[in-house]
Amino acid sequence: MELFIDPTDGRGIATQIYAQLRDAITDGLLVTGDRLTPSRALARDLGVSRFTVTDAYTRLNAEGLVRGRAGGGSIVCATATRAAVPVAATALAPAPQAAQTDMFDPNPTSDARFDLRPGRVDPTLFPTSAWRRCMLRALQAPPPQYGDPAGTIELRTALARWVLHSRGIDVDPRDLVVTSGAQHAIDLVARAVVEPGATVAVEEPGYPPVAELLRISGAKVVGVPVDDQGIVVDAIPPSARLVYVTPSHQYPLGMTLSRERRLELLRWANTQDAAIVEDDYDTEFRHTARPLEPLQRLDEHGRVVYVGTFSKTLSPSLRFGFAAVPRSIAPAVHALRQAVDWCPPALAQAAMTTFIDEGHLQRHLRRARHVYRHRHQRLWAELTNTLAQHGRPLPSDAGLHVTVLLHEQLTDDELRAATRPNGIGVASLRGSHRFTTPRSGLIIGFGALATDDVPAALHDLSEALGLRTL
């Protein structure tokens, strides 16, 4: 640990060293088995004599706090239980916009016996061996200096081939930017095209973190209703400079934006001189119907930014996403990427490039699609059977969650009280409403739930809801 010498302190230097180390041990900052810095090295770092340091160490040894070990230096051998550290006084306060921001998921690392939260994936499906080989290959070369803020041209070229193969999107690698997930991409695009105070439109209900992201960036965020065909284009304010949509699998209700609405939205954006952010967050997992063409593919005027992520296809812990942006704003987005975070991690980019180029991603997706399709079928059967007395599941042909509209009104607190004691993690539909009266419902994710556990999980969820509504 770092030690400090105060020349104005009336105590001797040895006493100052002794006191700082003693306090660190009794407060639990240094624990049993920790090794103190060798006396010769500490004397050199502090610019004092070695005798001064050994004097302090001798006093600690005499009090039984450390012991000397032949050839092993001084080792901490007694640790007190550290008392709670009082919060330091501060004059700082968050800005009003930041103070009003709530965490979408306040307990992202919490465990549940049955994890039915949306946005979760099955960690057992992760291709660990293939990813390890790709990372080891990346480590064969020394890490480079700062890189291209948009990402290495090798990775962007691999991504361009990937989206052409998977979604039919023909994009120049120069118009791609590698990001730390989809929200990072949306943040960069919003910074590039939206002035503070401008109006932006989001789906209602929709994905809460994006609405919050746009709000704290200084935009005026408005909610636009959705129906069984997706976002209602006629309800978008003419003043909106940006529209955020999830057309392939609307979050959270699950419908697909119809082709007629896609063309209508593109016409609207061109007439109003607005941008469209197309978040294609989980379209790789189609369970029944064939996907419609992406908005970006139908766009003839360069209005659409296509955002993709590997959080669902691989793992959210990798923090990999990308945006395909129109050439007109690509330089601004790349410059903003450098200003915010300079560049993506070079080694991870090299590994991802190899992972895509050698076909590991495609093989992984084939396996994952098979597993999730079967899991979706099991979940749907249970929802329409076990949980039918409590709610109505909404049709969903893609993704890793299904939304259920509950017959009974259930607050978020009541839902947590009913499910958490039974080891069930599930999300409320209420949190996805930001601008209108929320509906009572559940967003049931099945990504992290083992297929064989689906019946038991839905049975326990049904029982928990039944006890609540008695």
Mapping DSSP onto H, E and C, the string for 374-409 reads HHHHHHHHHHCCCCCCCEEECCCCECCEEEEEECCC
Number of other CB atoms surrounding residue 397 within 10 Å = 17
The answer, yes or no, to whether residue 110 has pLDDT greater than 80, is: no
Examine the domain organization and report whether 278 and 324 are in the same domain.
yes
Examine the domain organization and report whether 176 and 293 are in the same domain.
yes
Do residues 237 and 269 make contact, with C-beta atoms less than 8 angstroms apart?
Answer: no
Q: What is the mean pLDDT of the chain?
A: 92
Whole domain around residue 381: which residue ranges? 114-120+363-469
Domain assignment present for residue 86? The answer is no
Domain count, the chain: 3
Q: Give me the CATH number covering residue 203.
A: 3.40.640.10
Examine the domain organization and report whether 338 and 381 are in the same domain.
no
Report residue 368's pLDDT band, with 50, 70 and 90 as the boundaries. Answer: very high
Examine the domain organization and report whether 161 and 287 are in the same domain.
yes
Report residue 187's pLDDT band, with 50, 70 and 90 as the boundaries. Answer: very high
Q: In the predicted model, what is the mean pLDDT of residues 72-78?
A: 84
Domain termination site, one of 297, 330, 358:
358
Report residue 193's pLDDT band, with 50, 70 and 90 as the boundaries. Answer: very high
Domain termination site, one of 335, 358, 381:
358
**Residue type (1 letter), 343:** C
Examine the domain organization and report whether 227 and 243 are in the same domain.
yes
CA separation for the pair 28, 264 (Å, rounded)? 64
All residues at 6 or more sequence positions from 378 whose CB lies less than 8 Å from its CB, including other chains: 451, 454, 455
Domain assignment present for residue 437? The answer is yes
pLDDT the model gives residue 226:
98
Examine the domain organization and report whether 348 and 375 are in the same domain.
no
Report residue 470's pLDDT band, with 50, 70 and 90 as the boundaries. Answer: very low
Domain assignment present for residue 105? The answer is no
Domain assignment present for residue 109? The answer is no
Domain assignment present for residue 4? The answer is no
Examine the domain organization and report whether 44 and 72 are in the same domain.
yes
The answer, yes or no, to whether residue 345 has pLDDT greater than 50, is: yes
Task: Tell how strand 391-393 and strand 401-406 pair up.
Answer: antiparallel
Examine the domain organization and report whether 319 and 368 are in the same domain.
no
Domain assignment present for residue 127? The answer is no
pLDDT the model gives residue 322:
97
Orientation of helix 412-419 relative to helix 454-469, angle to 10°: 120
Domain assignment present for residue 108? The answer is no
CA separation for the pair 277, 190 (Å, rounded)? 9
Examine the domain organization and report whether 299 and 410 are in the same domain.
no
Percent of the chain residues topping a pLDDT of 90: 79
Domain assignment present for residue 52? The answer is yes
Which tens digit of pLDDT belongs to each residue from 94-105? 888 888 888 878
Q: What is the DSSP letter of 437?
A: P
Q: Give me the CATH number covering residue 436.
A: 3.90.1150.10
pLDDT the model gives residue 219:
96
Q: Give me the CATH number covering residue 19.
A: 1.10.10.10
Tokens of residue 368, six digits = 């994952």
Examine the domain organization and report whether 169 and 203 are in the same domain.
yes
CA separation for the pair 66, 52 (Å, rounded)? 17
Domain termination site, one of 304, 331, 358:
358
Examine the domain organization and report whether 410 and 299 are in the same domain.
no
All residues at 6 or more sequence positions from 382 whose CB lies less than 8 Å from its CB, including other chains: 454, 455, 458, 459
pLDDT the model gives residue 355:
98
Do residues 201 and 210 make contact, with C-beta atoms less than 8 angstroms apart?
Answer: no
Which tens digit of pLDDT belongs to each residue from 262-310? 999 999 999 999 999 999 998 889 887 677 899 999 999 999 999 999 9
Of 306 and 386, the structure prediction assigns the larger pLDDT to 306
Percent of the chain residues topping a pLDDT of 70: 96
Examine the domain organization and report whether 301 and 367 are in the same domain.
no
Which tens digit of pLDDT belongs to each residue from 320-333? 999 999 999 999 99
